[in-house]
Structure 1
Amino acid sequence: MDEMPGGPSSGALRGIVVLDITRVVAGPFCSMLLADLGATVIKIENPHEPDYARAFPPTLKASSGEEFSAFFAQYNRNKFGLTLDLASHDGKQLLKDLVRRADVLVENFRPGTMDKLGVGYDVLRAENPRLVYTAISGYGQTGPYRRRPAYDNSAQATGGLWSMNGFPDRPPARVGTIIGDLSATLYAVIGVLAALRHAEQSGEGQLVDVSQQDSVLSLTENAVVSYTVDGKVPGPLGNEHPFVKPYELYPCKDGFVFFGGYTDKFWRLSCHLFGQPELADDPEIDTMAKRFEPEVYERRVRPVLHRWFQDRTKIELEEIVGDAVPLSAIKDIGEVVEDPQIAARDMVVDVEYPDFGELRMFGSPIKLGGTPTQPRGLAPKVGEHSATILRALAGLDDEQIAQLRTKGVI
């Protein structure tokens, strides 16, 4: 198992074997990050009902008419593909065999599902006491909501974030990405790495329990303490910060920019850069505390920013401030993909898929100096490496593997 799909296995997690029994994003993204870091990740899918993200757009198209989901490819790169019917006796036994050779298992079923299948945490821990069993779910493994079905929107709704997003004169708006799935994934990776270290030191694995609702709640900044200390329930603020000003979106000639020159240092620099140095000493707006006052901000500061920005393009404004003041063009994803900083950071990577052509997808934000990540691997076809995995980790021969295929176990 030294060779991962798409390239040689190296990196900080080389030698760590991860069993990935997840689908869609909350789970696959977790194991993808581990794979990028060098772990050997085995994606286990039901042979009769594989990950339905395989049908998500957009798709790569081969000349034969075959299609492959780019969405699926991005979140399942660098993984081996194995099919296993966990409802069958043989499938359960094979999973137990694999667990004995594994370090980590990741699943994102509703709590209790793996127990019903007969391969829950307690059963698998008996097979391998060092196993780090990571469960990502909507509401966690405990509590009154634990069995409720959940999607990303469920977490945004029940974690408080949805109620805070949008504009004050309109209904709340969901965050424009699957932040519940993504945040739970990131916390799961942190939990896996912490539990792995403990297992290496003590020989004991453990359950890593990550909830999407919990994860979203932790992203609400000062909302919890605003309520518990002052009794305030934060609502939608649009593009404004609860108290920091100026610190929001402002229109310019060809779009919008973010300007965050709110400190006295940045405000003084901005006044000089935009040709109005006298404003830095204006007694009504010469301190941060004065500029934070909503009435002063609306009457005195916002009109100044409007004059500075309205007749200049995003590029012109970025050139004026240079490295001196936090001002950033608000870019659409096309502009981001072509951004020179993104290119310099290797954050859009090109991967060649045989028969399908090139796929450009996001790279890895984790930059390690000694053991760099490997974001350019391929995602597996359904069960693509089943025989390889079962020979290497379960000790099966070709005849046994053929029998399992005939029975529909793999």
Structure 2
Amino acid sequence: MVDLNEFSNWPASRPGPLSGVKILDITRVVAGPFCSMMMADLGATVIKVEHPDEPDYARTFPPFVNSDEEQLSAFFAQFNRNKLAVTLNLKTPEGKALLHKLVAKVDILVENFRPGTMEKLGLGYEALREINPKLVYTAISGFGRTGPNASKPAYDNTGQAAGGLWSMNGYPDRPPVRVGTIIGDLAASLYAAIGTVAALREAERTGKGQVVDVSQQDSVLTLTENAVVRYTAQKEVAAPLGNDHPFVRPYGQFPCKDGYVFFGGYTDKFWAITCAMFGEPDMAKDPAIDTMEKRFDPVTAQTRVTPLLERWFSAYTKAELEDMAGDKVPLSAIKTIAEVVEDPHIAARNMIVNVPIAGKLIGMFGSPIKLSGQEQVPHEKAPAPGEHNALVFEKLVGIDAHELEKLKSAGAI
């Protein structure tokens, strides 16, 4: 097998615990690209595979970064940094044959087609395992590879709707509201990355690969906190609560002088500290609100606890309240994205990283996985479609420039 690390011009050979692991990324948009990007951040060599005439349409998503020569998507770059890119037309015999050659040389393949699509192309797991028995085949889809809904098309909103999260979000007196980010895509990618690394460990131990089957619906379901057991144990159906919590108060959003804060001082200990912090320690002994159970009562919370907190908080800004709370009680400013990006703590955690786009360095979220043994290295730009055709096909599977030209003429790459 070709040792990719011996090539000094291999731009994605990055240090990290997954260094040397080779991944074929046949995914689009976010559910899939994010999964492989996390592994690229951890050192894996990720080869993004796109159709030569129809590349990942996330490349057209805003915001864009412009230079004199090009306009590139920062959205796309955020989920495809540190990768190589090749083009392959998997509907052509030549394209399929070339994928077979790549599969023989890699450890992992990630795809996010509707179940059955790869099988129709003759490129499903059963076919590919004949080429590489150790292959970890990760499949991300809306409803998974089994069950009556497996063949249904899906987007992120599908996962939020079918997984129950949408029905729980919003305010009690209004229709449900989707979560304000693509939580279905992101959750599926996170679980897929965990499952892929676990299956890779098993393949290294036993020599046998397997399918990692991750569903957006399944992933979203696990994000519903107590909703499942509330229903199975008590037949209680979770409904929108706004900023309230089903069994603890005060625990939510409260207004202050220049915005809102989250305050979660519902325990007796935190409540007593809070009362003292605002100069009214005797309120912790008030018989109407001196226990967690009393403060949770909806009427008591509305008539006694919330007005008291709003009176206290209204005299201070978010920053002042955070300074007062310090490490004594759970209180945090509800920050805008601008405030988060500029947060010194976020900077200290290296959570905004600079990635090259169109000749500029653009900040985007870094990795929340902090490993003490992993050094920090600069991030590589997201690749252009087919940017690494010559490098990958020559170095990994031994195809020379003449053969590449023939493949291009045949529409295979």
The reply to whether TM is greater than 0.5 is yes
Alignment partner of 1:361 out of 360, 364, 371:
364
Whether 1:302 aligns to 2:328 is no
Q: How does 1:311-350 map to 2 (within 5 A)?
A: 311-350=315-354
Q: How does 1:2-401 map to 2 (within 5 A)?
A: 2=5, 8-64=13-69, 66-353=70-357, 355-372=358-375, 374=377, 376-401=379-404
Aligned partner of residue 101 in structure 1, secondary structure: coil
Distance of 1:108 and 1:5 partners within structure 2? 26
Q: Deviations over 1:61-81 (max 9, x none)?
A: 0113x2111000110000000
Aligned partner of residue 63 in structure 1, secondary structure: coil
1:52 Cα deviation from its structure 2 partner: 0.3
**How high is the sequence identity, in percent, across the aligned residues?**
62
Contact 1:6 1:376 in 2 (8 A): no
1:356 Cα deviation from its structure 2 partner: 3.0
Distance of 1:273 and 1:334 partners within structure 2? 29
Contact 1:102 1:131 in 2 (8 A): yes
1:6 Cα deviation from its structure 2 partner: 5.9
Q: 1:375 to 1:196 in 2, by over 3 A?
A: farther
Distance of 1:351 and 1:178 partners within structure 2? 22
Distance of 2:191 and 2:399 partners within structure 1? 36
Contact 2:12 2:45 in 1 (8 A): no
Aligned partner of residue 395 in structure 2, secondary structure: helix
Distance of 1:398 and 1:377 partners within structure 2? 25
Matched AA of 1:405: K
1:375 Cα deviation from its structure 2 partner: 6.7
Q: 1:76 to 1:375 in 2, by over 3 A?
A: farther
Aligned partner of residue 178 in structure 2, secondary structure: coil
1:291 Cα deviation from its structure 2 partner: 1.2
Q: Deviations over 1:101-148 (max 9, x none)?
A: 110000000000000111011000111010000000000001111111
Distance of 1:211 and 1:321 partners within structure 2? 41
Contact 2:136 2:211 in 1 (8 A): yes
TM-score computed with the length of structure 1 as normaliser: 0.97
Contact 1:37 1:372 in 2 (8 A): no
1:399 Cα deviation from its structure 2 partner: 0.8
Contact 2:356 2:380 in 1 (8 A): no
1:298 Cα deviation from its structure 2 partner: 1.4
Whether 1:404 aligns to 2:407 is yes
Distance of 1:341 and 1:4 partners within structure 2? 36
1:180 Cα deviation from its structure 2 partner: 0.3
Matched AA of 1:388: L
Contact 2:169 2:242 in 1 (8 A): yes
1:351 Cα deviation from its structure 2 partner: 2.3
1:4 Cα deviation from its structure 2 partner: 8.1
Distance of 1:379 and 1:340 partners within structure 2? 27
Contact 1:223 1:234 in 2 (8 A): yes
Distance of 2:12 and 2:105 partners within structure 1? 22
Q: Deviations over 1:18-49 (max 9, x none)?
A: 00000000000000000000000000000011
Distance of 1:377 and 1:346 partners within structure 2? 16
Contact 1:36 1:375 in 2 (8 A): no
Distance of 2:260 and 2:33 partners within structure 1? 34
Contact 1:252 1:309 in 2 (8 A): yes
Matched AA of 1:383: G
Q: 1:374 to 1:206 in 2, by over 3 A?
A: farther
Matched AA of 1:244: V
Aligned partner of residue 81 in structure 1, secondary structure: strand
Matched AA of 2:370: K
How many residues are aligned here?
Answer: 408
Gaps of 5+ in 1: none
Matched AA of 2:208: E
Contact 2:16 2:43 in 1 (8 A): yes
1:311 Cα deviation from its structure 2 partner: 2.0
Aligned partner of residue 96 in structure 1, secondary structure: helix
Contact 1:184 1:212 in 2 (8 A): yes
Distance of 2:348 and 2:377 partners within structure 1? 16
Q: 1:166 to 1:4 in 2, by over 3 A?
A: farther
Q: Deviations over 1:354-404 (max 9, x none)?
A: x53121111111100002465722110010001100011111111111111
Q: 1:370 to 1:287 in 2, by over 3 A?
A: same
Q: 1:165 to 1:301 in 2, by over 3 A?
A: same
TM-score computed with the length of structure 2 as normaliser: 0.97
Contact 1:247 1:261 in 2 (8 A): yes
Distance of 1:371 and 1:282 partners within structure 2? 52
Distance of 1:370 and 1:136 partners within structure 2? 30
